[in-house]
């Protein structure tokens, strides 16, 4: 795509100090910007997409955006407004952020030398100012005409994103195509938001797939928003449209500090009829499902819970909430999906979330109701040992306050990895009816009493004997009493005191600090 002039006449300015000339020059520059925006709108609006400037205006507080490098990469005298990306600083709810938005109306939003320089500059500025950086991506990828120069720019952006990781929050909004090596730019950020209709991400597109494998696949099936939110786990939020994507991003930022040196946000809180009655939401039978989001809504401020990765690995919940104005991250098993078991995807989802919270000083509240790891050949061959270990790593290395409540059950290795005391949990509680054991009664009896069961089978009363043995095992082992006696649980609490207990624990742990036990360059997390 060539640089087509937006003005009929070239800009020719006398550099002598005449007010009229300066005013005319400024007017022509503004006309150039307006004309470029009209062209962008004509191209984007029919697709249901906003222009780069419209997207930025919707994201930041009104009148707060200050553009940087406005005409960089352009030729004003020829009427070409500049690079295919807009960068600058703005405010969201009064807090400063850095923003860049790719402009698909200019060369398909492709990235060349000028675009790379602008993105690198705004990311460097974000690091200097210690503020979040938000990228709004809508691009055809690397500009072919720029060749290896474009590839080198992507490499520099990747490296800078890694340097910024854990220092400032990084959020990517995929609002159009994102393909080839370009996908690794958002992949390195903390959160990815995609829209249902227009966004897609893939390393190799349908044409390449068809040419190399013979497979016929659509853009949506290969790398659409549904795929990355529900199957691959690449994306963290599936937005209905651009407005929804921007609303989610603004809400997400409200729970995050601007950088890793700041504490998590703490807002004024005015109680508004928060209900502490949660016991009725959780069935007594440990095998009966219920919706953990309803429990969360009963104990958090205003019943709010901002889920991330909602459509992926749905047997576990991750997201942000607040307790008396204090922002927290929540990790919770979801008994409504696969009984709340842990598998490879759930382990990685929770591990990544805990790691993010720890990087940005956000306390983690863990709500446990887990029967164990999902059994089977599929999970073992998918690497549950290696991938499940990531959750252990994240909790064990976390230095933020960790508050855990066992609601109904916690069995086997899954009990350990869900924010247990042995793994670093600061304050761990259990409801009186909680089942905490290595195995459930049925499995334990089958192992411990094989001979008795075999004899009962021959005698014809196996069911009666098994029932008695299970009842005895449950009474002696499947309860929180042993855990309390050994210090693995700090207290047994009434379900209706769950919110009050979490609030008190967070307040008590507010000044928690941690010093590494051993000097090292970095650990070697199972990848």
Which residues are tagged catalytic? Answer: 180-181, 413-414
Measured CA to CA in angstroms, residue 449 lies from 250, 435, 459, 482 at distances of 57, 20, 15, 21
Whole-angstrom Cα distance, residue 273 to residue 207? 56
Pick the closest to residue 169 from 226, 250, 245 (CA basis).
250
B/e letters for 20-33, b = 16+ CB within 10 Å, e = fewer, are: eeeeebeebeeebb
- Residue positions counted in the chain: 527
Q: What is the DSSP string of 515-527?
A: --SS--S------
Sign of the dihedral through C-alpha 183, 185, 189, 193:
negative
Cα angle 521-523-527, degrees, rounded to a multiple of 5: 135
Crossing angle, helix 450-459 and helix 462-477, to 10 degrees? 150
Sign of CA dihedral 482, 486, 489, 491: positive
Q: Specify whether the CB–CB gap between 95 and 279 falls below 8 A.
A: no
Provide the token pair at 201.
């991400």
Strand 177-179 and strand 200-202: the pairing is parallel
Please name which of 420, 405, 431 lies closest in space to residue 283, comparing C-alpha atoms: 431
Q: Under a CB-based contact definition with an 8 Å cutoff, are residues 177 and 139 in contact?
A: yes
Could you tell me where the beta strands, DSSP code E, fall in 78-225? 85-92, 95-102, 133-137, 170-174, 177-179, 191-195, 200-202
Nearest by Cα to 477 from 524, 409, 414: 409
Is the distance from CB of 199 to CB of 176 less than 8 angstroms? yes
Q: Residue 304: CB partners within 8 Å, gap ≥ 6?
A: 297, 321, 322
**Rounded Cα–Cα distance for residues 466 and 460 (Å):** 12
Helix/strand/coil (H/E/C) assignment for every residue in 254-310: CCCCCCCCCCCCECCCCCCCCCCCCHHHCCCCCCCCCCHHHHHHHHCHHHCCEECCC
Which residue's structure tokens are 């003005």? 7
Note whether 132 and 258 are within 8 A (CB). Answer: yes
């Amino acid at each position: 795509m060539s640089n087509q002039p937006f003005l009929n006449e070239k800009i020719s300015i006398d550099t002598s100090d005449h007010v009229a000339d300066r005013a005319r020059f400024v007017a022509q520059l503004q006309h150039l910007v307006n004309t470029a925006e009209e062209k962008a709108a004509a191209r984007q609006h029919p697709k249901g997409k906003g222009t780069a400037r419209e997207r930025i205006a919707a994201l930041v507080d009104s009148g707060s955006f200050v553009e940087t490098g406005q005409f960089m990469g352009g030729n004003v005298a020829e009427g070409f407004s500049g690079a295919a990306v807009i960068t600058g600083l703005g405010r969201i709810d009064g807090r400063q952020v850095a923003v860049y938005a790719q402009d698909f109306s200019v060369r398909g939003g492709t990235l060349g030398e000028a675009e790379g320089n602008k993105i690198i500059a705004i990311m460097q500025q974000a690091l200097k100012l210690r503020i979040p950086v938000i990228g709004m991506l809508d691009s055809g990828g690397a500009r072919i005409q720029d060749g290896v120069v474009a590839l080198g720019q992507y490499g520099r952006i990747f490296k800078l994103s890694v340097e910024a990781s854990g220092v400032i929050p990084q959020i990517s909004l995929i609002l159009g195509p994102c393909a080839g090596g370009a996908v690794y730019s958002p992949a390195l950020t903390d959160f990815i938001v995609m829209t249902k209709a227009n966004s897609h991400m893939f390393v190799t597109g349908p044409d390449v797939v068809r040419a190399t494998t013979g497979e016929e696949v659509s853009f949506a099936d290969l790398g659409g928003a549904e795929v990355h939110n529900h199957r691959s786990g690449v994306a963290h939020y599936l937005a209905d449209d651009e407005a929804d994507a921007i609303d989610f991003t603004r809400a997400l930022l409200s729970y995050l500090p601007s950088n890793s040196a700041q504490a998590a946000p703490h807002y004024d809180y005015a109680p508004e009829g928060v209900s502490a009655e949660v016991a009725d939401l959780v069935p007594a039978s440990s095998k009966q499902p219920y919706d953990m989001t309803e429990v969360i809504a009963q104990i958090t401020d205003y019943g709010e819970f901002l889920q991330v990765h909602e459509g992926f690995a749905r047997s576990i919940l991750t997201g942000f909430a607040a307790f008396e104005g204090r922002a927290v991250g929540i990790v919770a098993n979801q008994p409504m999906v696969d009984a709340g078991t842990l598998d490879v995807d759930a382990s990685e989802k929770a591990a990544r979330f805990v790691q993010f919270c720890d990087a940005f000083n956000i306390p983690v509240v863990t709500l446990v109701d887990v029967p164990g790891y999902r059994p089977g050949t599929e999970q073992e061959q998918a690497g549950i040992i290696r991938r499940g270990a990531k959750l252990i790593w994240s909790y064990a290395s976390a230095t933020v306050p960790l508050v855990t409540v066992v609601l109904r059950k916690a069995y086997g290795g899954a009990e350990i990895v869900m924010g247990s005391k042995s793994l670093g949990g600061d304050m761990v509680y259990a409801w009186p009816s909680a089942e905490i054991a290595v195995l459930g009664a049925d499995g334990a009896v089958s192992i411990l009493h094989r001979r008795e069961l075999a004899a009962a089978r021959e005698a014809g009363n196996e069911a009666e004997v098994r029932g008695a043995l299970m009842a005895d095992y449950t009474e002696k082992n499947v309860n929180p009493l042993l855990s309390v006696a050994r210090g693995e649980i700090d207290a047994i609490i009434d379900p209706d005191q769950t919110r009050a207990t979490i609030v008190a624990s967070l307040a008590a742990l507010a000044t928690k600090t941690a010093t590494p036990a051993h000097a090292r360059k970095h650990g070697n997390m199972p990848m």
